[in-house]
Structure 1
Amino acid sequence: MDIKTGQMSGGCPFTGDNSVRSLLGRTNKDWWPDALQLEILAQGGKSADPMGDDFNYAEAFNALDYNALKADLTALMTDSQDWWPADYGHYGPFFIRMAWHAAGTYRTGDGRGGSSSGQQRFAPLNSWPDNGNLDKARRLLWPVKQKYGKHISWADLFILTGNVAIESMGGPVFGFGGGREDVFEPETVYWGTEELWVDQGAETRILPDEGKALDNPLAAIQMGLIYVNPEGPGGNPHDAEGMARDMRETFSRMAMNDEETVALTAGGHAFGKCHGAVPPDQLSGSPEGGALEMQGFGWATDKAQIAEGHITTSGIEGAWTPNPTQWGGDYFRLLFKYDYELTKSPAGAHQWTPINPEEADMAPDARDPNKKVPTIMTTADMALKRDPEYRKISERFLNDQAALDDAFARAWFKLCHRDMGPKTRYLGPEVPEETLIWQDPVPAGSKPADAAVSDFQSAILNSGLSVSELVKAAWASASTYRNSDHRGGSNGARVRLAPQNGWAANDPEELSKVLSKIDELRGDLSMADAIVAAGNAAVEKAAKDAGFNVSVPFTGGRGDAGDEHTDAESFEPLEPFADGFRNYLRTKATVKTEDMLVDKANLLGLSMPEMTVLLGGMRALGANSGNTKHGVLTERAGQLTNDFFVNLLDMATEWKVVDTSGDEEFIGSDRKSGEEKWRATRTDLVFGSNSQLRAVAEVYAENGNEQKFVNDFVSAWTKIMNNGLFGIA
C-alpha cells in the first residue's frame, strides 16, 4: 500500500500512539444504556422520517407566511410563561443561546454538526451540559411550530428565532436563509472518546505540558461543551494564556478567525445572563435519561426556585451588561472600564466581578427589575482583554460601534449558515444579495450541447491518456464532496487550484498532465464539465472493453471557480487523510482504515452496496493513488469487470499479513503452490472479512451478475460526479 508519511496539524485522531479505535467514539447507547432502542424499527433501510419520500420542504417553505411567522416569534419574545418565566421579561437572550448552540456544533474537520438538520432535539446534544435548559426553549417554540407545521422545519425555526430575538432587542442582523430540512433520528457523529461530561470532571482535550492536542475533527475543548470551558482551561481561571489558546483553537475549527471570535463573543454576551444560582446537586438529570413523567424535560428545579430565577446551567451567575435585553456597546465599555476580581457563583463556579462598580453599571435582577446586582465576566470574556491580539480587536470595537455591528451581524450569519453549503440552497425573502467567500461561490456555467460533449469525449479517448488517468482525475475532482456541509464536489473544478492540485492523494504530477490535456481539448465546455465528461467516457470505454455497452449519464452546466472565488486555507480540511476508494492512506493510523473508508462513504452519501460496487470498480479500473497494484485483483486492469470480487472471494487464495508493515498490507498466495498472486490492503480484505460486506460482495461475484455490477457501478459513479450540483438541472 502507498503508506505516505505526513502529519495532520492540530492533533489527528488517525495518528499517534493510542490504540486502534472506532470513529464513533462514545455513542448514545454508551451514555444511556437503558434508553428505548428504536434501531430495530429501521431494518431494511426504512427511514424514520414520517414526511415520506414525496415531501418537498423547499416547496413547503416557499408557501410559508414568512412575515406572519416572524410577527408571532416577535410576540413570543415578551410572552413570559409561568412554567418557565423569561429573564427580564424577554426570552430573546434564551433563544439566541438556543440558536447559537444549534449552529455551534459545526466543525470544519469533517463538516459535521451545525444547524442544518435540527439535531439539538436528539441525544446526545439535547442532554449536553452546555445545552442545559434549552429543552425549555424548544418547548416555548412548540406552539409556533405546531401552528406553521410542515412549512417551517425545527432546524430553520431555531435559527430564525435567534435572528428575531436579536432584532427584537435592537441588534444587527445580516440576513436569513432557510432550507434546513429536519431529520427524525440522531445522526452518527464522532463527538469524542471521553467517558465523562464536562460537569462530571472530563479532562480538557488540550494539555500542552503532556503533548496532548485537540483531535481532528473535534472542535470543542471538553466533552459536552459547544466551545470552551468559560471558567478557564480545565476550569482553571488563572491560565490566561491557555484560555486564549483554547478559544483560538476551537473557534478556528468552527471556521472563525480572531475578529469573528471577538465579535461573536461580545455580541452574544451583550444579551442575557449566565445561570448559576443554586448548587448543581439540586438539579435533576438530563432530558435523555429523565423519568417518563418529565416528558423530555431535564435539569429541573422546583417551581418556587424557577419563579425566583434560581436556575443553574453553566454554573456562572450574572449578566454581562446593565442592559441585558438591549443591543449596544456596554459589554466592551464595562470590560475595559473596570478591574475585575475572581469570585465564585452560588453554584461554586469561577467568575470575575468588577471592583467597586457604579450603580448605573449594575444589572437588574432577572426577576425583580427594582433590584440591582453586579455584572460579571467569565474567564473566556477576560481573554478578550488579556490576549494581545484579541485586545487589539476589542479596543477597535470599543471605539467603533458600527464596526462591531457589522462584524457581529456577519459572524452570526456565518455561524448559522456555514454548514448549509452553496448559496443556491438558501430559501426565503431575507437571503442577502452579497455572496461571501466562505460560501464557496462558483460562477454560473452553461449547459453544453450534446454534440460538443460527444466530440470532446471522442477526442479525449484518442489523446493517449489512459482509462485510469481519466477516472482518477474525475474522482479527484468530485470525491471532495461532503454531504455534511455540502462543500466540495465537481462543480467549480477546484481540483485544478491550490490546495487541491497539490494533495498527495491526487498524484499532482499525473493530475497536472491530465488537466492540461483536458483543457487543450475541451472547446466550449467548462473545465468542471470536461473533467467529469472525460471520466464518464473512460468508464464507458472500460465497460465496452469488458464486453458491456453502457451509457454513463452526464449532467452539464458546472461552472469554473477561480482563485478569487476560493479561500484556499478553508479547503485544507477536505484533504483526504485516507481514501479507500483509491487505496490511499497518508500514514499509519490509530483508526482502522476500513472505518475511515466507511466514514468517507458516509460523507459521500453512499449506501453499503454503492460503497462496495464503487470500490470494486475503482480497483478494476486501476485507479489507485500512486498507481499501486494493491487490491487490483485482475489481469485486465482498465476494464470494468467484477474481477475484484471474484478473486477476493476465491478459496484457492490464502491471505497473510506482511509483517514489515503491520496489518496494512497483505499477500494473497495460491494455497497449493504458495506462489504470490496478489497484494492487498485492509480496505480490500474487509469485503471478504466483514459478514455484511461479504454478503454484498458475493452478489457482485456471482455468475450472471456481471451486467448488474457494471450497471450498479455506473449508477454509483454518476451519483459521485453529480454530488453538489445544486441549482443545476
Structure 2
Amino acid sequence: MDGNNIGREGGCPVMHGGNTGNDKAVTKWWPNALNLDILQQHGARANPMDPDYNHREAVKGLDFEAVKADVKALLTESQEWWPADWGHYGGLMIRLAWHSAGSYRMGDGRGGAGSGNIRFAPLNSWPDNASLDKARRLLWPIKKKYGNALSWADLIVLSGSMAYESMGLKTFGFGFGREDIWGPEKDVYWGAEQEWLAPSENRYGDLGDVSTLENPLAATHMGLIYVNPEGVNGQPDPAKTALHVRETFARMAMNDEETAALTCGGHTVGKAHGMGAVDAIGAEPEGCPVQAQGLGWANAGHQGKAANAFTSGIEGAWTQHPTQWDMGYFDYLFNYEWELKKSPAGAWQWEPVDMPDDKKPVDASDPSVRRSPMMTDADMAMKVDPIYNEICQKFMADPEYFADTFARAWFKLTHRDMGPRANYIGPDVPNEDLIWQDPVPAGATNYDVAAVKAKIADSGLSAAEMITTAWDSARTFRGSDKRGGANGARIRLAPQKDWVGNEPERLAKVLGILEPIAAETGASVADVIVLAGNVGLEQSLKAAGHDVEVPFTPGRGDATDEMTDAASFEPLEPLCDGFRNFEKERYAVSPEEMLLDRAQLMGLNTGELTVLLGGMRVLGTNYGGSKHGVFTDRVGQLTNDFFVNLTDMANTWHPVEEDGTYEIRDRATGAVKWTATSADLVFGSNSILRAYAEVYAQDDNAGKFARDFVAAWTKVMNADRFDLLA
C-alpha cells in the first residue's frame, strides 16, 4: 500500500519502512555517517526492570540448590513437542550453553554468555544455533518460576553445567551473577559477509595461513561458532582443519590442551542431527511468521521422534553411551579406522570401518535399533594432528586428569567474560584464583589519602603527566569481558609498560616518582596512579576557576607478573585512542569510528564520550604533545574552550591533503589558528555529537562541563572496581 494515502479508504495507517523498518535509516541514505547506536544501546529506557532494581542483590536471594535441582529434573522429562535424545536433554543443553559462551573472542572481548545475547538476532538465528530455540523454550518454566533473580544468561550456562553433572562429570564450579540485556548487541562485528556460511576466503587474507583470519573474528564462517564440522570450506581434511581449530580456539583464549579437552569432552555426550533433507527445514526464528511464535527450523517429518531431528545436517553420536560421561569418545576415535561418508542430509562425516553392531550406540528414539556413530573433521583432527594426538594420549592414560582438565576448561569457556571472581555469586564459586581471571590482591584502605595527595602534589610532576598516566592505566578497561582497567596497576608490567601508546619513556619517569610514594605511604601503586590523576585534574580545575574535589575510593591492589598472563593482555593494547588523539598507524577504519569503539568498550555513553574528549584536549594530554584539537590558549586549564572554539562560526575548516589532518583558520584573515584530526572535527560535523558539543559550548554551562567531566573521569577510574559492587 501507499503509506501516503492514509486518509483514503483502505489506506495503510503506518509508514512502511519508516517507523518500523530500516529503509529510512540515516546510514542507508548516508552510508558514511558515523553511527552512534553502539553508545545508545541497553539504556534505562530499554530495561523493563524497576529503576531501583539491583540484580546482584536479587541473585543473592536465589535458592541456588532448588534451581539446580529443577534444572536436573527437567533434563530427563522428555516432552512430546520436542522429545529428548535417549530421554535426556543433556546434549541439547550443553550445546545451548556452549554456543552461548562460544561466541566470545579475545580480540575485543565481545560475544560470550554473559548477557544472554543468544536470545536475540543474529545469534538466535545463526545456522550453527539451529534448534537451540527449543532448548530455551524447555527452560522457560524454570525461568518463569524464579523470575528476575535468575537471568536467562545464568540459566543457559547453568543448564549445560547441570547436564554434565547429571551425566556423571564432577564440574569445577559455577558462578551466578550474569545480567541480561534486552535487545540485540549492536556493537559486535560478526563479519562483513551478506550470506550464511559464505566461503572462508571472505575473512582470511590467505586461507592457507590461519593467522590471517580477520580480527577480531574467531569463527571461520559467518553463522558458525567455531569451524566448519565438514572441513575447511566443507572439504574434509583433518590436518588442515586442525590448524583452523587451533587458531579459532586460541582467539577464544584456549590453549592446545584446553582445546583438545573441550573438543573431546564436548563430544563425549549427545549427538548431531541430520535426518532428512536440508531444504525441507523451515526458516530460522527471525525469518518465521508470527504464528511460529519465535520457533524456527521446523522439522518436516519429525513425528515426535528424537532420531528424526535436523540441526547441523551431520547425523549420529560420538560414543556408545551418549548420556554418560566416560572415555567412550577415545575408545571410538583411536580404536577404529574411519572413512568418509555422507549423512542422510548429505553432509560429510566420518564413520567407523567394520565396527560390530553391539559396539554401536542405540537409536535416540528406538532402543531396539543400533546406529553407526560418526566423527566430524574436527574430531579427526584430534587424531591426525600430532600435538592434539599427544594430548589425547595423555588423557587416555589418565581419565581423572582428562575429567579435571575438561571441567576446568568448561568453567573457563562459560565464565571467561565475567571478569574477576568478585563478579561471581553463589555457593559453587571456586576458591582458586585462576590466571585468566586477571586476579588482583586487595589493596590497603587505611592509609592517609590526604598525605599521599600532598606528596604527589610536591613531586614535580606536571598535571598533564599525572592525568595522562592515570588515563592510560584505566583506559584498557573493556566492559565486554570486564578485563583491563587501573586496578592492579598492570601498566607497570609487561606488555603494557612497553606499548607505544603508553609512551614508555614518559611512563617510566612518572612511575619512578609515584612508586616510591606508594612504598612510603602504604598505598598501592594502583591507587597512587589514580590519585595522581585526580591531583592533576584538581589543579587544572582550580586553574580554570572551579573548586572541585575529584572523588576517590582507596583499595586498589597491585598485580604481579606471576598473576598476569602477559600474552592475553596483548589484545587490550590501544591501537587508536581518540581521547588522546593517538593512532599507532593509519587504519582503514577512521579515527572517529575507532573512538566510538573504545568508548563503548569503556562503558561510556554519548555525553561522557563528548565531555571527556573535549576536556582531555584542553588539558594538553595528547599523545606525543600533539596540538591537534587543542582549541585553546589556556592549555592545562579544564575549560570548555574546545567546544566554544569548535562551534565558533568565526572559523573555517580546511583539510591538509598530505597527512589527513585539518586546519582551523580565522574566517576574516585566513590565519591558521589550530589544527585538528577527524576525531576532533566530528564533534562539529555529526549532528548528534554537535548537539552535545553545543551544550558544553554555552555560556551558562562552563560549570556543568567541569562537573560532568569529573563524573565521567571518576567512572573511568572506577570501571574495574568490582570489589565495590553490592
Give TM-score scaled by structure 2 length: 0.92
The Cα shift of 1:307 comes to 2.1
Which letter maps to 2:681? Answer: L
The Cα shift of 1:587 comes to 1.1
More relative contact order, 1 or 2 (CA 8 Å, 6+ apart): 1
Any idea what SS the aligned residue of 1:102 has? helix
Query: 1:223/1:560 Cα in 2 relative to 1: closer, same or farther (>3 Å)?
Result: same
Aligned partner of 1:458 in structure 2 is 454
| Distance in 2 between residues matched to 1:493 and 1:458, nearest whole Å | 21
The residue correspondences of 1:371-386 to structure 2 (distance < 5 A) are 371-386=369-384
Deviations 1:283-305 (A, max 9, x none): 11000111111000000114644
Query: 1:306/1:60 Cα in 2 relative to 1: closer, same or farther (>3 Å)?
Result: same
The Cα shift of 1:142 comes to 0.7
Structure 1 position 501 matched with structure 2 position 497 = yes
Any idea what SS the aligned residue of 1:655 has? strand
Query: 1:209/1:439 Cα in 2 relative to 1: closer, same or farther (>3 Å)?
Result: closer
The residue correspondences of 1:598-677 to structure 2 (distance < 5 A) are 598-661=596-659, 663=660, 665-677=661-673
Aligned partner of 2:719 in structure 1 is 723
Query: 1:303/1:278 Cα in 2 relative to 1: closer, same or farther (>3 Å)?
Result: closer
Structure 1 position 344 matched with structure 2 position 342 = yes
Any idea what SS the aligned residue of 1:364 has? coil
The Cα shift of 1:45 comes to 5.5
The Cα shift of 1:397 comes to 1.0
Aligned partner of 1:206 in structure 2 is 204
| Distance in 2 between residues matched to 1:137 and 1:376, nearest whole Å | 23
The Cα shift of 1:652 comes to 2.2
Aligned partner of 1:197 in structure 2 is 196
Deviations 1:510-547 (A, max 9, x none): 01100110112232111011000010010000011111
Contact 1:204–1:221 under 8 Å retained in 2: no
Contact 1:277–1:347 under 8 Å retained in 2: yes
| Distance in 2 between residues matched to 1:54 and 1:145, nearest whole Å | 21
Which letter maps to 1:671? Answer: R
Contact 2:271–2:315 under 8 Å retained in 1: yes
Aligned partner of 1:9 in structure 2 is none
The residue correspondences of 1:288-307 to structure 2 (distance < 5 A) are 288-302=286-300, 304-307=302-305
| Distance in 1 between residues matched to 2:111 and 2:329, nearest whole Å | 29
Which letter maps to 1:232? Answer: G
Which letter maps to 2:516? Answer: E
The structure 1 residue matched to 2:168, chosen from 167, 170, 180, is 170
Which letter maps to 2:421? Answer: K
Aligned partner of 1:3 in structure 2 is none
Aligned partner of 2:149 in structure 1 is 151
Structure 1 position 691 matched with structure 2 position 691 = no
Which letter maps to 2:315? Answer: E
Any idea what SS the aligned residue of 1:293 has? helix
| Distance in 2 between residues matched to 1:317 and 1:268, nearest whole Å | 16
| Distance in 2 between residues matched to 1:648 and 1:411, nearest whole Å | 52
| Distance in 1 between residues matched to 2:324 and 2:542, nearest whole Å | 69
Deviations 1:114-151 (A, max 9, x none): 11111111111110000000000000011111111122
Aligned partner of 1:536 in structure 2 is 534
| Distance in 2 between residues matched to 1:307 and 1:361, nearest whole Å | 23
Which letter maps to 2:397? Answer: N
The Cα shift of 1:705 comes to 1.2
| Distance in 2 between residues matched to 1:305 and 1:283, nearest whole Å | 14
Aligned-pair Cα RMSD in Å: 1.8
Aligned partner of 2:114 in structure 1 is 116
Aligned partner of 1:11 in structure 2 is none
Gaps of 5+ in 2: 1-20, 26-36
The residue correspondences of 1:272-421 to structure 2 (distance < 5 A) are 272-302=270-300, 304-307=302-305, 309-421=307-419
Query: 1:455/1:304 Cα in 2 relative to 1: closer, same or farther (>3 Å)?
Result: closer
Contact 1:221–1:250 under 8 Å retained in 2: yes
| Distance in 1 between residues matched to 2:264 and 2:112, nearest whole Å | 21
Query: 1:609/1:397 Cα in 2 relative to 1: closer, same or farther (>3 Å)?
Result: same
Contact 1:195–1:202 under 8 Å retained in 2: no
Any idea what SS the aligned residue of 1:395 has? helix
The structure 2 residue matched to 1:491, chosen from 462, 487, 491, is 487
The Cα shift of 1:202 comes to 6.8
Range 317-326 or range 584-593, more displaced: 584-593
Contact 2:201–2:207 under 8 Å retained in 1: no
The Cα shift of 1:98 comes to 0.5
Any idea what SS the aligned residue of 2:221 has? coil
Contact 2:82–2:306 under 8 Å retained in 1: no
Any idea what SS the aligned residue of 1:704 has? helix
Contact 1:204–1:233 under 8 Å retained in 2: no
Query: 1:345/1:43 Cα in 2 relative to 1: closer, same or farther (>3 Å)?
Result: closer
Contact 2:199–2:221 under 8 Å retained in 1: no
Contact 1:641–1:706 under 8 Å retained in 2: yes
Contact 2:534–2:550 under 8 Å retained in 1: yes
Contact 2:83–2:306 under 8 Å retained in 1: no
Deviations 1:689-708 (A, max 9, x none): 10110111011111121111
| Distance in 2 between residues matched to 1:646 and 1:124, nearest whole Å | 42
Aligned partner of 1:67 in structure 2 is 65
The Cα shift of 1:447 comes to 1.2
Aligned partner of 1:680 in structure 2 is 676
Which letter maps to 1:344? Answer: K
Any idea what SS the aligned residue of 1:635 has? coil
Structure 1 position 478 matched with structure 2 position 474 = yes
The residue correspondences of 1:179-198 to structure 2 (distance < 5 A) are 179-188=177-186, 189-198=188-197
Deviations 1:424-471 (A, max 9, x none): 11000100111100010001112144xx22222222222221111000
State how many pairs are aligned. Answer: 687
Aligned partner of 1:226 in structure 2 is 225
Query: 1:564/1:45 Cα in 2 relative to 1: closer, same or farther (>3 Å)?
Result: closer
The Cα shift of 1:594 comes to 0.7
Range 140-149 or range 297-306, more displaced: 297-306
Any idea what SS the aligned residue of 2:45 has? coil
Q: Percent identity?
A: 56
Gaps of 5+ in 1: 1-27, 33-38
Deviations 1:86-106 (A, max 9, x none): 011110011000000111111
Aligned partner of 1:714 in structure 2 is 710
Range 670-679 or range 420-429, more displaced: 670-679
Query: 1:686/1:207 Cα in 2 relative to 1: closer, same or farther (>3 Å)?
Result: closer
| Distance in 2 between residues matched to 1:718 and 1:234, nearest whole Å | 48
| Distance in 1 between residues matched to 2:360 and 2:203, nearest whole Å | 36
Which letter maps to 1:725? Answer: R
The Cα shift of 1:280 comes to 0.8
The Cα shift of 1:52 comes to 2.0
Query: 1:416/1:723 Cα in 2 relative to 1: closer, same or farther (>3 Å)?
Result: same
The Cα shift of 1:308 comes to 5.7
| Distance in 1 between residues matched to 2:258 and 2:284, nearest whole Å | 32
Contact 1:61–1:152 under 8 Å retained in 2: yes
Contact 1:558–1:728 under 8 Å retained in 2: no
Which letter maps to 2:479? Answer: N
Aligned partner of 1:261 in structure 2 is 259
| Distance in 2 between residues matched to 1:561 and 1:211, nearest whole Å | 36
Give TM-score scaled by structure 1 length: 0.92
Contact 2:443–2:523 under 8 Å retained in 1: no
Aligned partner of 2:247 in structure 1 is 249
Contact 2:611–2:708 under 8 Å retained in 1: yes
Contact 2:280–2:300 under 8 Å retained in 1: no
| Distance in 2 between residues matched to 1:274 and 1:506, nearest whole Å | 49
